[in-house]
A and B are shown apart, each in its own frame.
Chain A
Amino acid sequence: GEQVEQLPSILRVQEGSSASINCTYENSASNYFPWYKQEPGENPKLIIDIRSNMERKQTQGLIVLLDKKAKRFSLHITDTQPGDSAMYFCATMLSGSFNKLTFGAGTRLAVCP
């Protein structure tokens, strides 16, 4: 199986600053690493993902870094806004596993004005 650890569990930042969330995984065969944002009462929505053949990916104020040697990946939200306040989940997927996801426990991000 796979275990994913996500830290921190709670993150409070000032509007306009950056926020970083870190995840580590155990299975070196994991090859897909999505990040989901979940707002209260809503379903998790994919915001950015990275595959194992990449080390960095950036889109619309989001940066994902992947360090396969350390089995660690991270999400960086630049210039945070109140609308970024939500739960964020990292996940991993193993090749050949019918696209099953293993999730971290989540990070509650609060962006304070």
Chain B
Amino acid sequence: EAAVTQSPRSKVAVTGGKVTLSCHQTNNHDYMYWYRQDTGHGLRLIHYSYVADSTEKGDIPDGYKASRPSQENFSLILELASLSQTAVYFCASSDAGEVTEVFFGKGTRLTVV
């Protein structure tokens, strides 16, 4: 099965601090994504990347940056964490083929205090 690994699995950050969430996939997938899930809600797309060294804005990019230094790795960066960014963050990957399954990591629970 496709493997998407996120680290850390949980984190507590202080308001105004910098947070980096990491994602590593061993699927040889070209596409990677960061989604945010708020309690009891669906997932919303923050940033995505279709090739290494390039990132694109998703539906809710404000307050977040992304970095894709290699095909396998995709990071989400919160330069100035805020209380409203408390959520569960999921990384995902998919093959570059048209309309293919998207595989999700196990998520990072971020609490900003």
Contacts and interface: CB of A to CB of B under 8 A. Distances in A.
Range of interface residues on chain A? 20 to 34
Interface stretch (A14-22, A39-47, A58-66, A77-85): A39-47
A93 B43 CA distance: 13
Contacts, number: 58
Given A98-B48, A99-B94, A34 B43 contact: no
Interface in A72-113: 89, 93, 95-96, 98-106, 108
Contacts of B50: 98
Contacts of B59: 1, 102
B31 A43 contact: no
Contacts of A105: 41-42
A32 B104 contact: no
B99 A106 contact: no
B33 interface: yes
A65 to B, nearest CB: 19
A81 B59 CA distance: 36
B58 A103 contact: no
Given A44-B90, A99-B94, A49 B101 contact: yes
Contacts of A99: 31, 94-95, 99-100, 102
Interface string B8-50: 0000000000000000000000010100000011111100101
Main secondary structure of the interface of A (DSSP, over half): strand
A73 B43 CA distance: 19
A99 B108 CA distance: 22
Nearest to A52: B99
Contacts of A1: 59
Nearest to B100: A99
Interface string B98-113: 1111101111000000
22 contacts: A1-B59, A34-B101, A34-B102, A42-B107, A43-B104, A43-B105, A44-B104, A46-B101, A95-B98, A95-B99, A98-B56, A99-B31, A99-B99, A99-B102, A100-B33, A101-B33, A101-B45, A101-B102, A103-B42, A105-B42, A106-B40, A106-B42
